[in-house]
Amino acid sequence: MAEQTSVLQSIRSVSKTGLGAPVLMMMMMAMIVVPLAPLALDAMFTFNISLALIILLVTVYTKRPLDFTLFPTVLLVTTLLRLALNVASTRVVLLDGHTGPDAAGQVIQAFGEFVVGGNYAVGLVVFLILVIINFVVITKGATRISEVSARFTLDAMPGKQMAIDADLSAGLIEQDEARRRRTEISSEAEFYGSMDGASKFVRGDAVAGILILVINIIGGLSIGIAQHDLTFSQAAVNYTLLTIGDGLVAQIPALLLSTAAGIIITRVSSSQDMGEQVLHQLFNNPKSLGVTASILGIMGLIPGMPNLAFLTLAIICGAGAYWIKQHQAKQLEQVPVTPEQTPKQESTELSWDDVQPLDAIDLEVGYRLIPMVDKQQGGQLMPRIRGVRKKLSQEMGFLVPAVHIRDNLDLSPSAYRIALMGVTVGEAEVYPERDLAINPGQVFGTLQGIETTDPAFGLAAVWIEPAQRDQAQTFGYTVVDANTVIATHLSQLVKTHGHELLGHEEVQHILDMLSKSAPKLVENLTPDTLSLGTIVKVLQNLLEEGVAIRDIRSIAETLAEHGSRSQEPDILTAAVRVALGRSITQQINGMALELPVITLDPALEQLLHQTIQATEGGSASIEPGLAERIHSSLQETTAAQEQNGLPAILLVSALLRPMLAKFVRHTIPGLHVLSYNEIPNDKQIKIVATVGQNLQPGQMQQSGT
């Protein structure tokens, strides 16, 4: 006992120092190079069989394949150990085989004489059967299962990663749990990938066993007859029995390890070990044993059949079925039935739980784009989207909702779709392996690639190979990768539809944050002066017109001042725009003192004033032909301003600004409509164009409304 304890302590000390693997490799090299005594061979063969049994039992009692992640490495090491023993035993058999069947130790002798009865023909047949079982049945099946498991595990990784990210974004799990799941998925992929390779070693070991047997028999006969003057029959008895004994000693551990590999590959993760699963799943239903007992009983009554064997097994199966049924009945009697345990009738009525809320922002991707959102595969799209959310939240003044990313097999493989509140607002197709070269308006060459349109701004573009990036930039193209294309498209859509993402909850959060620094202001603003709904509408109007709501203090002070005189959101929005005039002009034209503007011809402006004043509620309609001419003139002037590198600003009266801003908002996105009272006093106005001078007086007719 003391000796065993000291041996274990020495093994542990070697493992702690990191010398275990080098020592084991040196031992295997020594077995190949240095001749071993028969006693040492007996010890090593016994150790090999014991190790194979231990590994087999570990796989049987393992509840999950990932609980034994070391198995591929162990499989490789044990295979190398067995091959090293084959080399060592072959040397001893060929050198001393002429002395008798005990030349290579008692283990080989026992397998050569006792197991096969000293008959080398029987031993050869038994060895070939073991090799066929190992090579054709177990090893081939385990190899195929390893390949399929590895492929399906790798294919399922992106979906599992996206499910974890979705649960994390929804708040169902914490960061630690998400990290643990990602690590488990990565370990699972590595394990099955390693098993796919390790199974090839087992298959090669079976082939090596056959070759070693043939070589040893031929070599032993040649050495015995040529060098030791033995007769053919005597040489065949000595060398063949020793070779077959050596082969059987090696094939039995190989068979055990192949079986262990097959078991661990075919295992499904469960809270039970293999024995518990067999008892629970195979013998849980007494009907299967009862039917089996009936069939065996009928076969046992047929004349000429082995009646004793069939009837004995029929009685055993019948008794087993009766015992399982009685045992289950006792378990049911011991469990008290409480009202809570009484099965309830399944409700067929729908509830509000069946109505799932829509996500604020959805990004659906085709299966070829999944690696772009998978961190484990180096995907960079999710960090880009987080950066877009952070930038837009800072620019717009409220927290942009999280983007829910999921795969959609209905999309084409390279397509993506962006939806707000369940409604698709944009979709396009990208090529992850290519770059997008965007034509900003003036380029000096053509590129070979897939012609397309930039999804964010509608500019002409070409999908090019990464090797063409430098050439495209030289020609004047703006080159971005696929991640940037999707992130920019998402940013543009969120900025355009930002007012749809701002609701009562978001505005209440904004006011709660403001109340920490200006509690009296918030107290005077709502609910006494304005309702929360009115404030929400004003902020939505500002966002719809491209005005950030970061300066919430100035917005709240203006609303508190004007809220007592008017509850109309449009009037309050105009007042807030005046208060934010400096911020608006700076966002458009920077710090420049001179502000280039476009104005309306006085006659046209007077006509539009009369149109608005003549309609109830301030809602006006322009004659279609006149509206088309105004729109064309504004579009040409805006294009000229943008070509000169200047902002396009239409300066009108406060009464006309809302109508004209709505008129050009979606059709001329580069044109900003400002009123006179929104221009700060320190800004100088420079009129660069006047719209309406070329329109004939007869064309300026008010519509019938």
Q: 97 pLDDT exceeds 70?
A: no
Structure tokens at 533: 């709904």
Reported as a pLDDT band with limits 50, 70 and 90, residue 618 is: very low
Instruction: Name the residue with higher pLDDT: 549 or 57.
Output: 549
By the 8 A CB rule, do 244 and 65 touch?
A: no
Distances (CA, A) of 414 to 152, 324, 371, 419: 21, 56, 11, 17
Q: Which helix (H) or strand (E) holds 324?
A: helix 307-334
Q: Which residues of 227-264 are buried (b: 16+ CB within 10 A; e: fewer)?
A: eeebeeeebbbbbbbbbbbbbbbbbbbbbbbbbbbbbb
The full set of domain ranges for the chain reads: 25-275, 284-329, 361-497, 502-579, 591-705
Strand partners, 652: 675
| Torsion angle in degrees (nearest 10) through CA of 44, 50, 54, 57 | 150
DSSP, res 652: E
Q: 696 pLDDT exceeds 90?
A: no
Beta pairing, strands 415-420 & 423-429:
antiparallel
- In this prediction, residue 700 carries a pLDDT of 47
Structure tokens at 204: 């090669």
| Average pLDDT estimate for 246-260 | 78
Tens digits of per-residue pLDDT, 373-395? Answer: 887 777 888 888 998 999 999 99
Strand partners, 429: 415
Q: Which residues of 57-93 are buried (b: 16+ CB within 10 A; e: fewer)?
A: ebbbebbebeebeebbebbebbbbbbbbbbebbbbbb
By the 8 A CB rule, do 381 and 491 touch?
A: no
Instruction: Name the residue with higher pLDDT: 202 or 672.
Output: 672
Q: Give residue for tokens 């551990």.
A: 253
| 589/581 Cα distance (integer angstroms) | 12
Q: Which helix (H) or strand (E) holds 251?
A: helix 241-266
**% of the chain exceeding 90 in pLDDT:** 26
Instruction: Name the residue with higher pLDDT: 23 or 56.
Output: 56
Domain 502-579 has CATH 1.10.3720.10: no
Residue ranges of the alpha helices (H) in 356-502?
370-373, 381-396, 469-475, 482-496, 498-501
Rg (C-alpha) for the chain, rounded Å, is 42
Q: CATH number for 361-497: choose from 3.90.25.10, 3.40.30.60, 3.40.50.720, 3.40.50.410.
A: 3.40.30.60
Q: Which residues of 649-673 are buried (b: 16+ CB within 10 A; e: fewer)?
A: bbbbeebbbbbbbebbeeebeebbb
Distances (CA, A) of 357 to 352, 361, 422, 504: 10, 12, 10, 16
Among 610, 590, 704, CA closest to 659: 610
Residue ranges of the alpha helices (H) in 590-696?
602-614, 624-643, 657-664
DSSP string, 142-173: HHHHHHHHHHHHHHHHHHHHHHHHHHHHHTSS
Reported as a pLDDT band with limits 50, 70 and 90, residue 271 is: very low
Distances (CA, A) of 244 to 84, 109, 209, 235, 629: 17, 10, 11, 13, 101
- In this prediction, residue 114 carries a pLDDT of 62
Among 494, 487, 491, CA closest to 416: 487
Which CATH class for the 591-705 domain? alpha beta
**Average pLDDT value over all residues in the chain:** 79
Q: Which helix (H) or strand (E) holds 516?
A: helix 504-517
Q: 272 pLDDT exceeds 70?
A: no
Instruction: Name the residue with higher pLDDT: 690 or 335.
Output: 690
